[in-house]
Amino acid sequence: MSPDTACIPRLTRHAPEAIRSWDNVHFLHPWESMSPDPADRVIAAAGEGIHLVDAEGRRLIDGPGGMWCVQIGYGRREMAEVIAAQALKLAYHSPWAFASEPSALLARRLAEMAPGDLGTVFFTTGGSSAVDSALRFAQFYNNLRGRPEKKLFLARERGYHGSTYLAASVTGKDRWQNTMDAERRLVRFLPDIAPNRRPPGMSVEDWTDAKVDDLSRAIREEGADRIAAFIAEPVMASGGVVVPPGDYVRRTRDLCRAHDILYISDEVVTGFGRLGHWFASEPVFGIVPDILTCAKGLTSGYLPLGAMIVSDRLLAEISGEDRAEVMFRNGYTYSGHPVCCAAALKNIEIIEREGLLDHVRTVAPQFQARLAALGRHEIVGDTRGLGLLGCVEGTARPDLPEEKRVKIDHEFGQRVDEACEARGLIVRPLLNMCVFSPPLIITPAEIDRMFDILDEAIAEVGAAMM
């Protein structure tokens, strides 16, 4: 009997060992290690509410909400029904040749939610393609405005914007990039803005001034006439949940506007309720960007979909009677996919009906207080977050012996992750950090359970490593 038919467990058709071995041998996962040792990942077999269920039936709280995306939680029957109904009615149409009800409705809805005059939506297949499209739009815009030399992008160290060649090129996570190519000639990175990395004794106000000066200097040195756009996440997510200091976001947006540099707000993580609002740019940070990118929570991860939302002013500036032959030659077979758009519309309906934006604003103080309390552990160097986004970082205290510091720097995240998983919680390890962004439906009792587990796990790791 072959291993795949030897045992028919409840949650998977094939035996978990068979699935694991096919996965190990044939599936090159994102950020796959080149080690010959098998990765032996946990098999995600089902999902219910805020829980993932593995092939052995173990229920785990999904701390990262998938990959910052499962806003409404798993196992929503009405999502499955809408997806099935749209697939039966019209599974696909060419976005070149046809319009359809789901994509037109969703575009109108997103235009209503987006700040300011961001009224035109370009649909993509996910976050990377949304960022890629936004950057390509910025170049296209400058070509049409007769300034083809205005092409440079400003981005930030530690920012993450995706995995297409262009999105990866504006990604500033250097530790992860050293063996992959990127188009660096198109990009200048601004130094780290993380407030916990400021020099000892420096106030947050002075740090904010210094970070705004980094942008001024880059504009001065490169020349505003060469810079197309500045791209920034309102809160850097994969870079370690870096909440910008003071009024940094508003001041950098104003500087860009003053120098005719487009501001692209990458809300792939911060959109759809993560910070208690549809988008964070305006209500949380007080800015209206020129272009906004989103994905992930747009469908709560039920289907892949992304979008870039563009200012109508920009489009008006490059449109005209004489421009009929000029095209934005960028698009995907699956732009505005009707089934994905139907899923997004249902997801938005659920977020609205269940008051999840209000819910996030209500439970965020408890979430942030429990997160901050993890700072009591000696091994924790920093805790930070906003809304339902959080990060706990291992200490880099200079008085620790070098060997200990290196170990914490490389292993803290992984060890906390393992200790949490043994207790029924998934967190996302990133070297010396663990990040989390649970489904927005998480209740106060579940938040307590999540942080009780983190607290125990960190105590265990601290006892072993300090």
Ligand X SMILES: Cc1ncc(COP(=O)(O)O)c(C=O)c1O
CB of 239 to ligand X, least distance (A): 9
- Cβ atoms of 171 and 162 closer than 8 Å: yes
User: For binding to ligand X (CB under 6 A), which residues are involved?
Assistant: 67, 126-128, 131, 160-162, 233, 237-238, 266, 268-269, 295
Residue 136 vs 259, nearer CB to ligand X: 136
Torsion angle, alpha carbons of 277, 313, 243, 387, to 10: 0
Kindly state the tokens that stand for 411.
């292993």
Residue 270 vs 395, nearer CB to ligand X: 270
Residue 47 vs 126, nearer CB to ligand X: 126
CB of 136 to ligand X, least distance (A): 15
Task: Please provide the DSSP assignment of 130-182 as one string.
Answer: HHHHHHHHHHHHHHHTT-TT--EEEEETT----SSHHHHHT---GGGTTTS--
The conformational region for residue 115 under phi > 0 = left, psi -120 to 50 = alpha, else beta, is: beta
Residue 132 vs 214, nearer CB to ligand X: 132
CB of 241 to ligand X, least distance (A): 11
Across-strand partners of 46? 53
Residue 385 vs 462, nearer CB to ligand X: 385
- Cβ atoms of 280 and 249 closer than 8 Å: no
Q: Which residue is nearest to ligand X (CB)?
A: 127
CB of 125 to ligand X, least distance (A): 8
CB of 121 to ligand X, least distance (A): 16
Across-strand partners of 47? 52
Residue 131 vs 261, nearer CB to ligand X: 131
- Neighbour tally for 285: CB within 10 Å: 21
What is the spatial distance between Cα 364 and Cα 275, in angstroms, rounded to a whole number?
8
Strands 59-62 and 51-54 come out as antiparallel
Residue 45 vs 280, nearer CB to ligand X: 280
Q: What angle do CA 304, 237, 190 make, to 5 degrees?
A: 120
CB of 293 to ligand X, least distance (A): 7
Residue 295 vs 440, nearer CB to ligand X: 295
Distances (CA, A) of 252 to 9, 211, 287, 344: 55, 9, 10, 32
The helices-and-strands tally (H runs, E runs) of the chain is 15, 15
CB of 67 to ligand X, least distance (A): 6
CB of 169 to ligand X, least distance (A): 13
